[in-house]
A = this chain, B = another copy of it.
Amino acid sequence: MRGDGRTPGQLRPVTVERGWSKHAEGSVLVSFGDTRVLCTASVTEGVPRWRKGSGEGWVTAEYSMLPRATNTRGDRESVRGRIGGRTHEISRLIGRSLRAVIDYKALGENTVVLDCDVLQADGGTRTAAITGAYVALADAVAWAQRNKLVRPKAQPLTGTVSAVSVGIVGGVPMLDLAYEEDVRAETDMNVVCTGDGRFVEVQGTAEGQPFDRAELDALLDLAVTGCTELALAQRTALEQELPA
């Protein structure tokens, strides 16, 4: 039994609130337990310079934490004048994960920027961000279709993508670590899967002892289960009417 009463293979309560912002083409407030991330998708015509004339679109992401999203206040990166390594790393991970389900040709020369701002952090912010950003992206792509930015019948989305953290805590493989578990984990892994259970990204790190193949296998099994459940939550949210 875990601190919050979950079994090792259980996700925290997940909510996916679409249409959170009136300005963005797609916007989702996603929560994995107490972790809350605001994901907005901004569509603009045109692509970065290095891609112009290719006929292909681009999708990128920026991740950030509000200074008091965490237990102690962190300095703003804008104030420090530079982006930290962790922020860079997670922004790149989110971007790669979403590009895995994009058909650039079908998107045409349009750019979608996913902004994932952590309003409250309690572990798993990057996986919540990917899971929420996918839904924001889906809404943004639908917006682009309705507004004729993409060719008729073009399907820029080739699949769905969600992410979850897994880890070994006190010798037990566990799904969707809360902050307090993450801190104690011997091994920590973030897994990004498509809706059909294949892998987009696997990032496992030994925090204490190195891990062996059997542990790795157990963690991958748990992650695939978790991602499947998250894919269902995404589909359910997307099937609802978008609030006006």
Contacts and interface: CB of A to CB of B under 8 A. Distances in A.
A69 interface: yes
At the interface, is chain A mostly helix, strand, loop or mixed?
mixed
Given A38-B66, A67-B62, A88-B88, A202 B204 contact: yes
Give the number of times this chain occurs in the complex, counting copies. Answer: 6
A3 interface: no
B81 A81 contact: yes
A44 B74 CA distance: 12
Contacts of A193: 210
A68 B194 contact: no
Interface string A80-104: 0111111111011000100010000
Interface of A: 21-24, 27, 34, 38, 40, 42, 44, 62, 64, 66-71, 73, 76-79, 81-89, 91-92, 96, 100, 113, 115, 117, 119-122, 159, 189, 193-194, 196-206, 209-213, 216, 220
